[in-house]
């Protein structure tokens, strides 16, 4: 089982403009990058749990219902009277989401070190990412978790930069530079690196993160496909899967879930397992993730695919 750590919220997507300027219509969809990854794993047939603070308000109860319906283990949810984070989402002309967060003091940020759970052998890996790693107190809590667990459990990391919750680029950089030291596998987008390190070559930066601990770095490049950097097997690219894109919401989370699902299905979901992975297995994992993400891009919103839809990829 993977323990996925980070935010759970509702995305409010703007719909067709109202004829009245005094009205704005939205469609609310449960989300948050870690929330989506946990659900994506379950849809791909892999056990997952979500470690997050979750509100007792109306939206928090709905989030719990979604997780229950999807089969995500609820044992690591931490109840809170704080409100649920709300993200207002608009799409640009390319279908890419633009976010505006209402999250200060909200439940998913209210994880404290005393909330860190005891983990048994059933938890094989931990996935961390997104703005939960740059807002307090949850950022400090997740850092303590990975410090305690990185030697015995697989740690995967996706920066998933969102500047609305925390616009301080220097803080994001410090967070990235801290968490890459504990990760065995990293997934990052070229958009993230352009925001954080606009003067640096994305491929050179991704390659620099490789180490005896960090065996794989995946760099997603939208319509240009994706690249992989392996500590043992070098670097190569694969093209994007052809698809008519509705929007890209949830594509990165799908990519992440597919990577983790491949490791679990091939008994590679441990630091030792990842260190023994072959070039052929990495290539198969990368192609699975690219194809799965394309399926999500063909849909509206974060509608991640099921294993039956991707098993032939």
pLDDT of residue 220: 97
pLDDT of residue 256: 98
Residue 101 has pLDDT above 90, yes or no: no
Q: What is the mean pLDDT of the chain?
A: 94
**What is the β-pairing status of strands 185-189 and 26-31?**
unpaired
**Residues facing 77 on adjacent strands:** 52
Mean pLDDT of 23-33: 88
pLDDT of residue 216: 98
Judging by beta carbons within 10 Å of its beta carbon (0-12, 13-18, 19+), is residue 304 exposed, middle or buried? buried
pLDDT of residue 95: 60
Q: Alpha-carbon torsion 133, 137, 138, 140, what sign?
A: positive
Q: Which residue has the higher pLDDT, 223 or 39?
A: 39
First to last CA, the chain: 23
Residue 96 has pLDDT above 80, yes or no: no
Residue 44 has pLDDT above 90, yes or no: yes
For residues 267-299, one letter each, b for 16 or more C-beta atoms within 10 angstroms of the residue's C-beta and e for the rest, the string is ebbbbebbeebeeeebeebbbbbbbbbbbbbbb
pLDDT of residue 154: 98
Residue 142 has pLDDT above 90, yes or no: yes
Q: How many CA within 13 A on the CB side of residue 46?
A: 29
Confidence of residue 16 (pLDDT cuts 50, 70, 90): confident
pLDDT of residue 27: 87
CATH number at residue 73: 3.40.1190.20
Confidence of residue 148 (pLDDT cuts 50, 70, 90): very high
How many domains does the chain divide into? 1
pLDDT of residue 301: 82
Confidence of residue 93 (pLDDT cuts 50, 70, 90): low
Confidence of residue 97 (pLDDT cuts 50, 70, 90): low
Confidence of residue 79 (pLDDT cuts 50, 70, 90): very high
Percent of the chain with pLDDT over 90: 84
Which residue from 87, 2, 10 is spatially nearest to 40, judged by alpha carbons?
2
pLDDT of residue 23: 80
Q: What is the pLDDT of residues 256-311, one digit of tens each?
A: 999 999 999 999 999 999 999 999 999 999 999 999 999 999 998 889 999 999 98
Q: Quote the domain boundaries for residue 237.
A: 2-310
Residue 90 has pLDDT above 80, yes or no: no
Residue 17 has pLDDT above 80, yes or no: no
Q: Let me know the angle formed at the C-alpha of 260 by 256 and 265, rounded to the nearest 5 degrees.
A: 145
Q: What is the pLDDT of residues 216-267, one digit of tens each?
A: 999 999 999 999 999 999 999 999 999 898 888 899 999 999 999 999 999 9
pLDDT of residue 283: 97
Q: What is the pLDDT of residues 171-181, one digit of tens each?
A: 999 999 999 99
């Amino acid at each position: 089982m993977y323990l996925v750590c980070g935010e759970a919220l509702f995305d409010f997507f703007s719909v067709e403009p109202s004829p009245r300027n005094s009205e704005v219509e939205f469609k609310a969809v449960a989300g948050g990058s870690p929330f989506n990854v946990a659900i994506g794993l379950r849809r791909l047939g892999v056990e997952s749990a979500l470690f997050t603070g979750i509100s007792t308000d109306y939206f928090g109860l709905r989030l719990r219902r979604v997780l229950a319906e999807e089969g995500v283990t609820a044992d690591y949810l931490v109840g809170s009277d704080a409100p649920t984070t709300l993200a207002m989402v608009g799409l640009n002309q390319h279908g890419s989401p633009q976010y505006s967060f209402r999250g200060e003091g909200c439940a998913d940020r209210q994880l404290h070190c005393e909330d860190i759970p005891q983990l048994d052998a059933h938890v094989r890996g931990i996935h961390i990412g997104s703005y939960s790693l740059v807002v307090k107190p949850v950022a400090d809590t997740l850092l303590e978790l990975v410090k305690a667990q990185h030697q015995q459990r697989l740690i995967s990391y996706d920066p998933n930069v969102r500047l609305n919750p925390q616009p301080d680029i220097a803080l994001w950089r410090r967070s990235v530079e801290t968490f890459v030291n504990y990760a065995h596998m990293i997934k990052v987008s070229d958009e993230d690196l352009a925001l954080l390190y606009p003067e640096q070559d994305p491929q050179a930066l991704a390659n620099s993160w490789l180490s005896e601990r960090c065996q794989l770095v995946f760099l997603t490049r939208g319509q240009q496909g994706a690249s992989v950097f392996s500590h043992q097997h070098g670097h190569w690219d694969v093209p994007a899967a052809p698809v008519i894109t509705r929007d890209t919401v949830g594509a990165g989370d799908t990519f992440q879930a597919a990577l983790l699902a491949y490791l679990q299905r091939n008994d590679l979901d441990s630091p030792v397992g990842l260190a023994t992975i072959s070039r052929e297995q990495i290539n198969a994992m990368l192609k699975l993730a690219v194809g799965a993400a394309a399926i999500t891009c063909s849909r509206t919103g974060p509608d991640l695919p099921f294993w039956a839809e991707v098993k032939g990829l």
